Chains A and B, each alone.
Chain A
Amino acid sequence: MSVTSMPPHRLAPSRLATSRFTLPESVRALRLEFKRNAVPYVLPLLAAVFYFNTLRTADGFPPVWTLRASAITDHMLFEFSAFAGGLAAWAGSRDGRRKTADMVATTPRAAWARLSITLAGTLSWLLLAFLAGVAVLYIQTALQATWGGPPLWPVFVGAAGVTVVTVIGFACGVFFPGRFTAPLVAIVALVLYQTGLRQALSVTASGTYALLSPANSPPVVDAGVYYHAAPDLSIVQVMFMGGIALALFGALGLATTLRELTPERGLASLRAALARTDGWLLRAVAVILVACGVAASWTAFALAGTAKPDAVGGWQIPALHSAASDQPVPAAPACTSSSGFQVCVHPAFSFYLSDVAEVLDPVAAEIAGLPGAPVSAKEVASMIGGQDVPSGISGNPPVFEFTAERVGIYFGQFLGIPDPVGWREGFQQGLLDPFLAGPSQQAGSVSLGPAQQAVEDALLTAAGTNVPATIGKMLQNGQPIAGPPAVRSAAQRFGALSASARHAWLAGHLAALRAGTITLAQIP
């Protein structure tokens, strides 16, 4: 058909006019923005960084939900910040870079609506990518974890982080539409994140900025296991970042007005700019959003200033804190007593129950029936009442209580650096130290005397543990009171006795041994 023969196809203005709510058109435009967004081109690189930075790091943690989820804010948000900021700035600067500003400016759709559609297309991709990463992380954890479920607050904090960086980057692109804006924003996002991380890891970790930054040091290994992880700080972080995002989104609504302002013309410039831009209703909504965003961020900042350490290693904010989160999380322990010595661990750590039992059973058998000897072992929370809980023997009948932190070296296997010998010796010492030093003593704070050390070494050797040359601990007023060779010799003598002879000697001399009145020479 020739263009000249084509009949004029005219649409009456009234038919072109649409209702105030043009959702279908907006959705169609969003579909185009989504389809032709720059984010998919960068996804392979983002996926590679995610694998090496986040997934491998999380894989090095024991499969405990709260611990694994900490990788979302500590690692995942790090890489997403740079990508999200840069990509959003690229999208925001598009009309400036591509010289389409005049063309889109002549369309009736408000500038804010246009920008919102472009922003939504980019943000949708980034949030989808973020949630896909979270899904991979959580599926991997679900396949390995033995208890609990995926915590949602780290996801909310991460999503808020991605959103705020995206909006910041987009706003930078809109206000400074240059080709270097995107890389600059990506670099600044990385620096800001690192600054937040450094603050969080510093000695003054209670600084308000450190608390508001989603970057943080990994929590204790049993965080969220015995007690709920209080969401107080997460709520404040989401509020802070959401407030910034909301305020900047509102500022985008005023972008046209702000850009047309020329300071030298003062009020005349403001009046002209207001006349040129979108209607008063949109401007009013934009101003309200800016005000709400600033108020939310300011409130979050003020709330973060009232944060104080909670009883289980987290932070609580009095105005937000729920006493319910201080209550223990009910869980039936996973137990085994195949050799008569019952060992119980929290079900979240049941993956190492058999290993723990296999290590404790031989030493428990060596001291079974002796005064103060534990009849069972039980795993407890590593922090209660704001204090670290050391391992030790307590109760009647005596029970050896240990924490997941005590199992620490065991977790090296997740990082690919297993040390089974070191772990076995250290964990067995954790039981024998308080036994030989006395029931009131706790592992970790125990300083054994030479005779006690010799007996411990002998018992460890009898339990099948290869004890290295004994060093340290045998000090009195800073001076060695017996050299390692003497201790080793006594340990070899005692270890050469039969199990029943060792047991009988211990039964008769345990009180004196604990009191420190037995010398190395007195050990048979």
Chain B
Amino acid sequence: MLTGIHRSFGKNKAVDGVSIELGSGVFGLLGPNGAGKTSLLRMLATVLPPSSGEIRLLERDPRGPAARREIRRRLGYLPQNLGYYPSFTVVEFIEYFALLKEMPSAQVPKAVALAVERVDLGAKAKAKLRTLSGGMLRRVGIAQAIVNNPDLLLLDEPTAGLDPEQRVQFRALLRSLGETATVIVSTHLVEDVGAACSEVALMSAGKIVFRGTPDELTARGAGHGVGDAPLERGYSAVLSAARS
């Protein structure tokens, strides 16, 4: 639950008064570049503190160290710019993050194997990360995010670099994860939102200018000429309205 969240970088307001409450399911966060999606996700990931406002995650206030630690145990996060350790193998990298997430040692191997299989990287499990393509690295990033079966999963541009087949599989994975967890997907690919999200919000200039289902967003685009797909037309219509 976010209440009146603001975040500024100098004079630039990245997030400007966002209030939102989410339950389980896949939540899509749409918006143009610079809309504040990544800043909002970083605040939800407890990496970036808000300038003002209140955040409650998994019924806890992340400002307290103990609560923040408990939230992080149940959190999965894939940043927009995925970093990795080139000399680690796929399994080692995911295992490392599982251990940093304080998973019980005995459960780690099984959880790592499951995460690797979920992103379809079993054949590359022993490969060094430096040998992987961008799309495969993205899948490694997703695997480290889901290795602890998080209750709150934050994915920033998760499908960037994935081939079409992998994107289809990934959307299915998102739907599966959304059955029991809160999954927030920041993306500018509206087809991902349409295929995987039960709810969507559209950000512009740090504010949420639309919140509803993908169908409701599509409906906003009726009669609007910009965009190839109905959802894109809805996206454009809402943005145009917000800017005018």
Contacts and interface: CB of A to CB of B under 8 A. Distances in A.
Interface string B64-100: 0110111011110101011111111000100111011
A106 B72 contact: yes
Nearest to A17: B73
Contacts of A94: 85
Contacts of A2: 169, 172
Given A3-B176, A32-B92, A106-B45, A16 B84 contact: no
Contact of A109 (B100, B105, B120): B100
A107 B97 contact: yes
Contact of A106 (B46, B81, B85, B141): B46
B209 interface: no
B100 A29 contact: yes
Interface in B191-223: none
A105 B88 CA distance: 19
A435 B74 CA distance: 90
B160 interface: no
A13 B144 contact: no
A107 B92 contact: no
B151 interface: yes
Contacts of B47: 102, 105-106
Contacts of B99: 25-26, 28-29, 32, 109
B72 A107 contact: yes
Contacts of A3: 118, 120, 169, 172-173, 176
Contact of A100 (B84, B103, B108, B173): B84
Interface range, B side = 35 or more
A186 B83 CA distance: 26
Nearest to A23: B105
A91 to B, nearest CB: 11
Contacts of B85: 36, 94, 98, 100
Interface string A1-28: 1111010111101011110001011101
A15 B108 CA distance: 12
Contacts of B28: none
B19 interface: no
A79 B179 CA distance: 58
B79 A8 contact: no
A102 B79 CA distance: 7
A143 interface: no
Nearest to A114: B100
Interface residues of A, number: 46
Interface in B111-129: 111, 114, 117-118, 120
A416 interface: no
Contacts of B175: 4
A297 to B, nearest CB: 30
A17 B69 CA distance: 10
Contacts of B104: 15-16, 18, 25
Interface in A81-103: 94-95, 98-103
A103 B120 contact: no
Contacts of A105: 46-47
A102 B144 CA distance: 13
B48 to A, nearest CB: 9
Contacts of B100: 29, 104, 107-109, 114
Contacts of A4: 172-173, 175-176
Nearest to B46: A106
Given A28-B99, A108-B101, A13 B74 contact: yes
B227 to A, nearest CB: 29
Contacts of A108: 68-70, 72-73, 100-102
A192 interface: no
Contacts of A10: 149, 180
A35 interface: yes
A509 interface: no
B71 to A, nearest CB: 8
Nearest to A274: B65
Contacts of A16: 73-74, 101-104, 148
A103 B102 contact: no
Given A32-B96, A102-B45, A25 B172 contact: no
Given A3-B169, A8-B176, A102-B77, A32 B105 contact: no
Contact of A13 (B66, B77, B151): B151
B79 A35 contact: no
Nearest to B65: A279
Nearest to A95: B83
Nearest to B74: A13
Which 7 pairs, one residue from A and one from B, show the smallest C-beta to C-beta distance?
A: A99-B83, A100-B83, A107-B100, A108-B72, A279-B65, A24-B105, A4-B172
Interface of A: 1-4, 6, 8-11, 13, 15-18, 22, 24-26, 28-29, 32, 35-36, 38, 94-95, 98-109, 114, 272, 275-280
29 contacts: A3-B118, A3-B173, A4-B175, A9-B114, A13-B151, A16-B102, A17-B73, A18-B102, A25-B99, A25-B103, A25-B105, A26-B99, A28-B95, A29-B99, A36-B87, A36-B88, A36-B92, A95-B83, A98-B86, A99-B79, A102-B47, A102-B79, A103-B77, A105-B46, A106-B72, A107-B72, A107-B102, A108-B102, A275-B49
